[in-house]
A and B are shown apart, each in its own frame.
Chain A
Amino acid sequence: MTDVSAAEAPSDRRSKMQVSDEVAIQITNMNKWYGDFHVLRDINLTVYRGERIVICGPSGSGKSTMIRCINRLEEHQKGTIEVEGIELTNDLKNIDRIRSEVGMCFQHFNLFPHLTILENCTLAPIWVRKVPKKEAEDTAMHFLEKVKIPDQAKKYPGQLSGGQQQRVAIARSLCMKPRIMLFDEPTSALDPEMIKEVLDTMIELAEEGMTMLCVTHEMGFAQAVANRVIFMDAGQIVEQNEPKEFFNNPQSERTQLFLSQILGH
């Protein structure tokens, strides 16, 4: 599984993509508790425009919680998060603004089962961006073509395979023309045969310069696409580095153990 896309994505492709100096996300001294449990401890992270960051770590390490804080699906209690220069506070207007700039794909897709694929894609542009219906549909078809399922537009999510559903979820997020995409284990609920089609879509997105944060265990994807890999454990960022160094020369003992476990079998 680890070499799914590494083989066909030569590592020099990465170097062609420049990382700008523009800050997309700035997380400073962020802490979060679930009740008394300290889930995220002192998170500091700066994401520049165009970066492709892969976040990995054992389950329960807080990686999903961290990226869910970025669009306020989870609330942090201490520290600051700034997205596109807007600080996340309790102000609903700011939250809605950030959410419409930040796309997200979930492990279980979270498509709306009562709407067709096309309606799934046009819902938010029509109601949040106030785009005319016709224009929203054209945009939706454009992105559905991009994820290679335009012929399923009239079907309902329940009629599609898992891989197709996840690609629809990606297209649905793209229809909002987001500046940042978050992926929360997008391939964990998929059969091995379908993982590749989703990863290919994500690779294509990365090549176009989308700023991406991706929680995943697909190390092949990390090696092929990421410009930075972050390893989290017990609610902290333990190590981060560029992929080559990260995989070949991990510094912390915890990282070494984790890598030996997931790459060892």
Chain B
Amino acid sequence: MTDRNFAYVRTEEAPRMPPPSDTHGPVHWLKENILSTMNDFSSPAKTVKSVVMMLLTVLSVLSAYAVISGMLTFLVVNGTFSIPEGVSGADACRENGGACWPFIAAKMRLMIYGAYPGEELWRVDVVYVLLAIGIAWVVWEKAPARGLVGALMLTAYPIVAFILLTGGALEGSWGAKGVWAVIGLALFGVGIAADKGVGGEALNAFSGAFKAIGGLLVGIVLVGAIFSIEFGLEPVRTSLWGGLLVTFVVALTGIVASLPLGIVLALGRRSQLPVVRMLSVIFIEFWRGVPLITVLFMSSVMLPFFLPPDTEFDKLLRALIGVALFSSAYMAEVVRGGLQAIGKGQYEGGMSLGLSYWQQMRLIILPQALVLVIPGIVNSFIALFKDTTLVLIIGLFDLLGAVQNQALKDPEWINPTAGTTGYIVVAFMFWVFCFGMSRYSQAMERKLYRGHKR
């Protein structure tokens, strides 16, 4: 045993120094990320590993080169950009053997507007431009009145877009509208009276439901009334819509409808009320259990058999409803995942302050749960955006359908590379939109991150 003296008192501050120079900078990065796996020759086994890593590196660089140079050769070097005098476009493309760009230029209108009549194209343009401005406005963080613009995009914009695209002036009896409006107002009135205590405790508990249903009815009648106003626009049947227009209409309707519906379904599935919970489970499991293609096919082929013979039920509208319900079932499960991640303490904190169930959900639980599942939500949005191509099965021509079933069927443009070029352009357009959504979601995640791990 030795006597050790452990007593120690620090008398001066240890200096704070920058990290040593070999722990950062480009050389360090190269060492860490590239060379570290292939510069160890201290034993035979490690030498073999280093050599294999070197070979793999060389191989990947070579294959990347092959792919990129092949693409460039097809798209640019051998590509046809203009048609010489006296030669048809198809022949010019056949001659060069590369991408057929004149074909894309000639079919651009089809890809963007479908068969929408030429003199009415400005209406689609207005819808596109308003959409672009609206999205840019809401996404741009420093823009003034973002909340107002966002609200308008969700309420006024769909109405304006509907009227512009279809021409509005829907038929429908004003009498029926009046009856529904009166019913709606009556329900709303009952709700307000119940709130004031008329009708006792039992009615009081349902005042919110009365007001919500009444308000919804009045809203629907109001929108219906706006749709039946005559604006003097030429009506355009939805069978003429196509290309990017159909892709956007289907995808945006699905996205905008599926999030609120999904939230309601997710809350329903976690509800204490057995009936609400069971209905939500049945809805979700039904729609998750069938493929989208079946849903679309049923809506287009089978549904007319169940409806009265002369009911006119727009094909695009049926597809929209099918897509919205289908994606809301998926959204519900994504949102439920987020709800489950929120601890019991958050509910109790809200309860102890006297907040009602809906206030707790809206102000405390959902803002946290939805931020947690942004990746899952955007994943669903992206999947939905690409799934819109399936509307081809019921004879609607979206972006892909317009190229595949309309542009490529044009006898004037029959040549070996038109198809490849068309598909590449379609793939690129889809990629741009999906990548945009993905990047935006990542930015949102970063912005809304509060470091709340407590």
Q: What is A's interface to B at a CB cutoff of 8 Å?
A: 71-73, 91-93, 96-97, 99-100, 102-104, 106, 108-114, 123-124, 127-128, 156-159, 165, 172-173, 176
Contacts and interface: CB of A to CB of B under 8 A. Distances in A.
Contacts of A102: 352
Interface string B348-389: 111111111001000110011001000000000000000000
Closest 4 pairs between A and B when the two form their complex, measured CB to CB? A113-B452, A110-B349, A100-B354, A124-B353
Nearest to B352: A104
B354 A157 contact: no
Given A106-B348, A110-B345, A123-B363, A176 B353 contact: yes
A111 B349 contact: yes
Of the four ranges (under 10, 10 to 19, 20 to 34, 35 or more), the interface on chain B belongs to 20 to 34
Contacts of A96: 354, 356
Contacts of B450: 113-114, 156, 158
B345 A108 contact: yes
Contacts of B368: 112-114
Contact of B371 (A99, A111, A114, A172): A114
A123 B350 CA distance: 9
Interface in B437-454: 448, 450-454
A156 B367 CA distance: 15
Specify the main secondary structure of chain B where it touches its partner: helix
A112 B361 CA distance: 12
Contacts of A165: 454
Given A108-B345, A112-B364, A158 B453 contact: yes
Interface of B: 201, 204-205, 345-346, 348-356, 359, 363-364, 367-368, 371, 448, 450-454
Contact of A93 (B204, B351, B367): B204
Contacts, number: 83
B349 to A, nearest CB: 3
**Residue of A92, A111, A114, A159 with most partner-chain B CB within 10 A:** A114
B351 A73 contact: yes
B416 to A, nearest CB: 57
Contact of B355 (A72, A91, A127): A127
Contact of B451 (A92, A106, A109, A156): A156
B452 A71 contact: no
A165 B345 CA distance: 14
A127 B450 CA distance: 23
A106 B349 contact: yes
A99 B345 contact: no
Contact of A157 (B356, B364, B367, B454): B454
B452 A99 contact: no
A158 B368 CA distance: 14
Nearest to B205: A92
Contacts of A127: 355, 359, 363
Contact of B452 (A93, A158, A176): A158
A45 to B, nearest CB: 20
